[in-house]
Amino acid sequence: MNADLAALYQSVILDHNRRPRNFRALDHATRGEGHNPLCGDRLTVFVRIANGVVEEAAFQGFGCAIATASASMMTESVTRRAVADACALAARVEALLSAEGDGAGDDLGSLAALAGVRQFPLRVTCATLPWHAFAIACRGLGIGD
């Protein structure tokens, strides 16, 4: 496999794609829809928030390996975070995926694996899709930007 592909489809990405975490609907949760009209990918992100903290996050839908892995890792990384903190994390992931994101992956843990998408400009929206859906869910609660 060529080096760019190996960086895009790192084992952590492939693992989250094959066995997405928190891949289910949540009752009593707010939801945010992510839709990429270019490819038809559609994800619903569910968040349950109490006292300003994300108690639980989950997702459902259909997306490519990048969107699915990004969503799966996101649900793990925002859970038990303060909402403001989770929104800040979303912004950092966004920066990581942008061309200027060098170094933005430091201390992001497994989320740093998403940086491989930078060599594939057409696929950046796949990685950001669940994070946008998360932001929409938070905005639905009047939280976040």
The site for other proteins (CB under 8 A) is made up of 1-2, 4-5, 8-9, 14, 17-18, 38-42, 62-66, 68, 120, 123, 126
Instruction: Write down the least CB distance from residue 112 to other proteins, Å.
Output: 20
Instruction: Write down the least CB distance from residue 62 to other proteins, Å.
Output: 5
The answer to whether 96 and 114 have CB atoms below 8 angstroms apart is: yes
Residue 36 β-bridge partners: 41
* 34, 59, 129 from 66: Cα distances, Å: 14, 14, 10
Instruction: Write down the least CB distance from residue 31 to other proteins, Å.
Output: 19
Structure tokens, 30: 């707010």
| Phi and psi torsions of 118, nearest 5° | -60, -30
Instruction: Write down the least CB distance from residue 55 to other proteins, Å.
Output: 30
**Residue whose CB is less far from other proteins, 113 or 126:** 126
Q: Counting beta carbons within 10 angstroms of the beta carbon of residue 16, is it exposed (0 to 12), middle (13 to 18) or buried (19 or more)?
A: buried
The strand order across the sheet containing 53-62 reads: 30-36, 41-50, 53-62
**Residue whose CB is less far from other proteins, 42 or 81:** 42
**Residue whose CB is less far from other proteins, 59 or 143:** 59
**Residue whose CB is less far from other proteins, 54 or 126:** 126
Closest by CA to 57, choosing from 68, 69, 41, 73, is 73
**Residue whose CB is less far from other proteins, 63 or 130:** 63
Instruction: Write down the least CB distance from residue 123 to other proteins, Å.
Output: 6
